[in-house]
Chains A and B, each alone.
Chain A
Amino acid sequence: MTKVSMTINGKEMSGEVEGRTLLVDFLRQNLGLTGTHVGCDTSQCGCCVVHVDGRSVKACTMLAVQANGSKVTTIEGLAAADGALHPVQAAFREHHGLQCGFCTPGMIMSAVDLLQHNANPTEHEVREWLEGNICRCTGYHNIVKAILAAAESMRGGVAHAAE
């Protein structure tokens, strides 16, 4: 067993893990942060996306020991301390971007990272970015709509130039 420590959603947390323990299992099982989901065993579905040092990462594809000393943000840490939703969370609700909700934490964390890189994505860029996130319920239509709307609201309401 190895001791790992990281800053998770702004709080210092640590625990004992095996060498083979995945980051997602550390979050879910050791820390009870069950908002990060596991939908596959081949790094394809993106249900497990979290941010490690500001970048989106599939938490099923990283060992807990590899994240030692990192800053990790999970879906539980995305809203402000007073409960105010992140614009991407708010847009998913506003545009019915979720149904069963299982892919949703990974989708939202992934979309937040996209908008950090590209504040003004086209629909095509959003769809390409989501290549690593599978949703079986929504057909992506409203997820894409939500992300474009969130981008617009984060830019201060400036609509995208026509594609």
Chain B
Amino acid sequence: MVANGIGARALRKEDQRFITGKGRYTDDINQHGQAFAVFVRSPHAHAKLVAVDKASVAGMPGVLAVLDGTDVAADGLGNLICGWLVKSKDGSPMKMGAHPLLAQGKVRYVGDRVAVVIAETYAQARDAAEALAVDYAELPATVALADAHGSSTLVHDEVENNLIFDWELGDKAAVDAAMASAAHVTRIDLVNNRLVPNAMEPRAAIGSYDSGLDQFTCYVTSQNPHVHRLVMSAFIQIAPEHKLRVIGPDVGGGFGSKIFIYGEECVVTWASKKVGGRPVKWVAERSESFLSDAHGRDHISHAELAIDAEGNTTALRVNTKANIGAYMSTFSSCVPTYLYGTLLAGQYKTPAIYCDVQAYYTNTAPVDAYRGAGRPEASFLLETLYEQAAKEIGKDPAEFRRQNFIPKDAFPYQTPVALIYDVGDYATTLDRALELADYAGFKARKAEAEKRGMRRGIGISCYIEACGIAPSAVVGSLGAGVGLWESAKVRFSHTGKVQVMTGTHSHGQGHETTFSQLVADKLGIPYEDIEVIHGDTEKTPVGMGTYGSRSLAVGGEAIAKSCDKLIAKGKKIAAHLLEASEADIEFKDGQFTVAGTDRAKAMGEVVFAAYVPHNYPADLEPGMEEGAFFDPPNFTFPAGTYVCEVEVDPETGVVRIERLVAVDDFGNVINPNIVEGQVHGGLTQGIGQALLESAIYDGAGQLLTGSYMDYAMPRADDVPSFEVETAAGTACTSNSMGVKGCGEAGAIGSPPAVINAIIDAIGVRVEMPATPQRVWAAMQGLALAAE
């Protein structure tokens, strides 16, 4: 056994640079001759763009260039794309309005890019951007999702009713029949609040052009540099792919918001050539991030759950309206459809499910994947619905869920909404969570709280999610424009040190650590001898990047396969050196041994022989470097139970989270520290959604929550210490490691647990975010005026 192999709580390799201030994020990179870009953004939610008066800043100090939509058009650059084609019920393709790099003719949300000013210094660029005269003719705006259908204002003139698609999944007739014969139907209306992802590092990009090489380079805050390169090349047409290098250096958090290809990185890269190839740097201010990063969630739903006389759920019907914002961002269409409707079976054996989703344009920032992406919306709907149903039919919410679980022996299990769950054991995670949370002792704690004048509540959520986003053939048949495999290369040097090149990208997940543990374990070499390289299209094999908790389950498996190829080659070399038959060579703990003997060669000796092949098999290539691609047969399905306990102060409506227990089945775990850290972060984002966060536009389309003064981020004193465990450990069958993925679970499972606990405490429904004002009003039976 190597130290720091699979299962070890290895300390992270990344940390030395980050705790000493030596991280290298995009804004930390300064190149010779660098100029600065500031974007001029629309102050209106909807307006005709009459004119950009470039002459108004001509001659201002330091100004090098002012570019607008006419320049983009003149150079024939393409539009931004949405890479997933969703079809409506009638088979017609989604209706996508054009999404130019810089506005052409019209602006469609506050923050829409109108022009870019490039100057010698940041201050000069900013001064000129403020001085640039832009003439707008204001138009009425469609802001609220509820108003989009039938609004007289069309965000894109060609998209009738602002309706992008009307999609469905499941067996409508079977659901209708089950509803008609149900003993009880529970109904719910809910809003999934709009969120701003808020990675702490604002988006940034530096574009440069080398005329000697005829090559563009773009440093960008990206979760997937190869996808950036593909889109910037094939669709935007800045340069052919081999003439464009994209680097995602250290990236300060993503949570989905840095998957997407935005106009800013395209513009600074293209613009570099216009200012003599000088590097052009753009860094978003936080208020710019609020306006222009893709937002998340923003659904309005109605759901109905049919239950028979014994308490078995027999059908689920869901209608959801989803806000897409003013333009279709890179993956916006798949979030409220294939990452949402397909998850509506949850952990339950409900035989009939039907869901339809209408997606609308509004004059707000684009909406796309944010941590969980569709799955938190599904889990919130389902788990608040089940909680309410249990209460309506007088069953204990935990027991009602248990009764309806897909039993452990029913896997692989085909759900009525397309997915096949490979493995699971939901009763075990439920049992362990109830035990940790002392569910049985809750009544006594509630009574004690009542004596103090406090309302205490407990809430459960049994979430499931589909992650390890792939397989290509499946996503392709559902409309994805790309394949979702992953790649790796593992390279020994003469001296036995290892470089691992991965197509995934780490921006907080700790891949340098986890992947090193995996390789140390596979190859039997020291953890310290391994270096993981990611984030540079010139250094890494083509890969699809990091999102959908796919890096280990898909990217890690490509690494594991590369290691297997190295071991297979090593056996040939060892057989030659040991004068044995290849079939007799065994590999374990870094040693190639002739079976049943003590004759062995260490990995280092075999590697050296491969690079100094003086005594070497005649028909074998020298060198020890192997690569692999991996396209898994299925998604992975992490699941678990979260239990939240709250106290509500009836005088003020303030909610305090007393306990949050999270028990997850992630299959096998490589580094428990990292897995627990991912859950902690996800839980806090989920608590943020449940209690604090909400992106609010006023009626004119101005973002009211445009800074940390107005948008309530969870702070250290808003959350408790968590009780986090893994249990059941059903090994995923779609990869050799048996891993599932843990990046999003916390944010998927926690909002319903928190809201269910509050409802349990106060006895009435309350929407997210459950602010003190809302909770207090709900307790008084008051409806709050629309915000």
List the interface of chain A (C-beta within 8 A of B).
18, 20, 28-29, 32-42, 44-45, 47, 74-76, 78-79, 85, 89, 92-94, 96, 98-105, 108, 123-124, 126-128, 130-131, 133-145
> In the bound complex, do residue B255 and residue A134 qualify as a contact, i.e. CB atoms below 8 Å apart?
no
* Candidates A40, A75, A98; contact of B21 at CB < 8 Å: A75
Q: Which residue of A lies closest to B14 (CB)?
A: A101
Cβ-based interface call for B509 (8 A)? yes
Counting CB contacts under 8 A, is B60 at the interface? Answer: no
Partner of A42, one of B19, B200, B708: B708
On chain B, the residues within 8 Å of A20 by CB distance are 123
Q: Which residue, A75, A78, A124, A145, has most C-beta atoms of chain B within 10 A?
A: A75
Q: Which one of B37-45, B265-273, B676-684 is at the interface?
A: B676-684
Cα(A140)–Cα(B24), bound, Å: 23
Q: Say yes or no: is B477 at the interface (Cβ < 8 Å to chain A).
A: no
Residues of chain B with a CB closer than 8 A to A38's CB: 27, 202
Per the 8 Å Cβ criterion, residues 28-54 of B in contact with A are 28, 30
Residues of the A chain whose Cβ atoms lie less than 8 Å from the Cβ of B253: 99-100, 102, 136-137
In the complex, residue of chain B having the shortest beta-carbon distance to the beta carbon of A39:
B200
Closest to A133 in B: B716
Q: Is B159 an interface residue (CB 8 A)?
A: no
Within the complex, what minimum Cβ distance (angstroms) separates B205 from chain A? 16
Q: What per-residue 1/0 map shows which CB atoms of B675-698 lie under 8 Å from chain A?
A: 011101111110000000000000
The yes or no answer to B544 lying at the interface (CB within 8 A) is: no
Q: Say if the beta carbon of B619 comes within 8 Å of chain A.
A: no
A131 touches B717 (CB 8 A): yes
A76 touches B708 (CB 8 A): no
Can you name 20 extra interface pairs (CB under 8 A) apart from A75-B19, A96-B673? A42-B707, A76-B21, A85-B20, A92-B19, A93-B15, A93-B16, A96-B11, A96-B674, A98-B18, A100-B250, A100-B251, A101-B23, A102-B200, A102-B252, A133-B716, A134-B708, A137-B681, A139-B719, A141-B722, A145-B721
Task: Describe B's contact surface by its main secondary structure.
Answer: loop
Chain A nearest CB, measured from B144 CB (Å): 27
A14 to chain B, nearest CB (A): 20
Which residues of chain B have C-beta atoms less than 8 A from A29's C-beta?
A: 30
Instruction: Choose from B20, B198, B674, B680 the contact partner of A35 (Cβ within 8 Å).
Output: B20
Could you pull out 10 A-B pairs where Cβ atoms are within 8 angstroms? Answer: A34-B28, A40-B286, A41-B286, A96-B11, A104-B19, A127-B717, A136-B681, A137-B253, A138-B680, A140-B684
A127 to B123, CA, bound (A): 36
- Contact A18 B123, beta carbon cutoff 8 Å: yes
Closest 9 pairs between A and B when the two form their complex, measured CB to CB: A35-B21, A102-B252, A101-B18, A100-B508, A139-B684, A44-B708, A75-B21, A139-B680, A99-B508
Q: How far is the CB of B741 from chain A (nearest CB, A)?
A: 16
B201 contacts A41, C-beta separation under 8 Å:
no
Interface residue B507 (Cβ < 8 Å from any Cβ of A): yes
Say yes or no: is B199 at the interface (Cβ < 8 Å to chain A). Answer: yes
Knowing A93-B12, A96-B674, say if A134 contacts B715 (CB, 8 Å). Answer: yes
| Nearest-neighbor residue (CB-CB) of B509 within chain A | A99
A76 and B19 alpha carbons, distance in the complex (Å): 9
Which residues of A have CB within 8 Å of B509?
99
Using A96-B677, A130-B717 as known contacts, say yes or no to A136 and B20 having CB atoms under 8 A apart. Answer: no
Instruction: Decide if A102 touches B717 in the complex (CB within 8 Å).
Output: no
Contact residues in A for B652 (Cβ distance below 8 Å): none
- Is B21 a contact of A136 with CB atoms below 8 Å? no
B285 at interface by CB-CB < 8 Å = yes
Q: A44-B707, A101-B23, A138-B677 given as contacts; is B719 within 8 A of A93 (CB)?
A: no
Residue among A33, A142, A144, A145 with the highest chain B CB neighbour number at 10 A: A142
State in angstroms the CA–CA spacing of A38 and B18 once bound together.
15
Choice from B510, B713, B722 contacting A99 with Cβ under 8 Å: B510
Asked whether, in the complex, the Cβ of B721 is within 8 Å of the Cβ of A136, the reply is: no
User: In residues 114-151 of chain B, which contact A (Cβ within 8 Å)?
Assistant: 123
Distance of A39 Cα from B290 Cα, bound (Å): 12
Q: Is B74 an interface residue (CB 8 A)?
A: no
Known contacts: A92-B15, A96-B673. The answer to whether A141 contacts B680 by CB under 8 A is: yes
Interface of chain B residues 711 through 755 with chain A (CB within 8 A): 713-717, 719, 721-722, 746
The chain B residue sitting closest to A141, CB to CB, is B680
B614 proximity list for chain A (CB < 8 A): none
- Known contacts: A99-B677, A103-B200. The answer to whether A136 contacts B685 by CB under 8 A is yes
Shortest beta-carbon distance from B718 to chain A in Å: 9
Q: How far is the CB of B371 from chain A (nearest CB, A)?
A: 10
The answer to whether A79 touches B20, judged by C-beta atoms less than 8 angstroms apart, is yes
Q: Are A139 and B682 in contact (CB-based, < 8 A)?
A: yes
Q: Tell me the complex Cα distance, A142–B19, Å.
A: 14
Which residues on B sit within 8 Å (CB–CB) of A102?
A: 23, 25, 199-201, 252-253
Residue on B nearest A33 in the bound complex, by CB: B21
Query: Do A35 and B23 contact each other (CB < 8 Å), given the known contacts A94-B11, A130-B717, A134-B713?
Result: yes
In the bound assembly, the distance between CA atoms of A39 and B713 in angstroms comes to 13
Chain B minimum-CB-distance residue to A132: B715
Interface centre among B202, B683, B715, B722 (most CB of A within 10 A): B715
| B20 and A139 contacting across the interface, CB-CB below 8 Å | no
> In the assembled complex, how far is the CB of residue B676 from the closest CB belonging to chain A, in whole angstroms?
8
| A133–B714 alpha-carbon span in the complex (Å) | 10
Most chain-A Cβ atoms within 10 A of its Cβ — which of B11, B24, B677? B677
B200 touching A136, Cβ below 8 Å: yes
Cross-chain contact B202 with A131 (CB below 8 angstroms)? no
Does B709 have its Cβ within 8 Å of any Cβ on chain A?
A: yes
Measured CB to CB, the closest approach of chain A to B290, in angstroms, equals 10
Distance A37 CA – B204 CA, assembled complex (angstroms): 13
Inter-subunit contact B721/A141 (CB<8 Å): yes
Chain A CB within 8 A of B22 CB: yes
Docked CA distance A45–B717 (Å): 14
| A93 lies within 8 A of B20 (CB) | no
**Which residues of chain B from 3 to 20 have any CB-CB distance to chain A below 8 Å in the complex?**
11-12, 14-20
Residues from chain B with Cβ under 8 Å of A131 in the complex: 715-717
Residues of A within 8 A of B715 (CB): 130-131, 134, 140
Which residues of the other chain, A, contact B680 by a CB distance below 8 angstroms? 138-142
Contact of A123 among B252, B678, B721 (CB under 8 A): B721
Cross-chain contact A136 with B23 (CB below 8 angstroms):
no
Question: B581 interface residue, CB < 8 Å from A?
Answer: no
Q: 1/0 contact trace for B198-241 toward A, CB 8 Å? A: 11111000000000000000000000000000000000000000
B residues near A44, Cβ cutoff 8 Å: 707-709, 713
Instruction: Chain B residues near A108: list those with CB within 8 A.
Output: 19
Residues of A within 8 A of B682 (CB): 139
A79 to B760, CA, bound (A): 49
Question: B287 within 8 Å of A by Cβ?
Answer: yes
Q: Is the pair A144, B709 in contact by a Cβ cutoff of 8 Å?
A: no
Nearest Cβ on chain A to B349's Cβ, whole angstroms: 33
Q: Are B708 and A100 in contact (CB under 8 A)?
A: no
Contacts of B285 in A (CB 8 A): 41
Q: A126 — which chain B residues lie within 8 A by C-beta?
A: 716
CB contact under 8 A between A101 and B683, given known A76-B21, A94-B11, A96-B12: no
Bound-state Cα–Cα, A37 to B285, Å: 12
Residues of chain B lying within 8 A (CB to CB) of residue A124: 717
A84 CB to nearest chain B CB (Å): 11
Chain A residues within an 8 Å CB radius of B746: 139
Instruction: List, in ascending order, chain B residues with CB within 8 A of A127's CB.
Output: 716-717
Whether A139 contacts B722 in the complex (CB less than 8 A), given A101-B18, A101-B508, comes out as yes
Do B716 and A34 touch across chains, with their CB atoms under 8 A apart? no
Chain B 641-678, CB-CB to A under 8 Å as 1, else 0, gives: 00000000000000000000000000000000110111
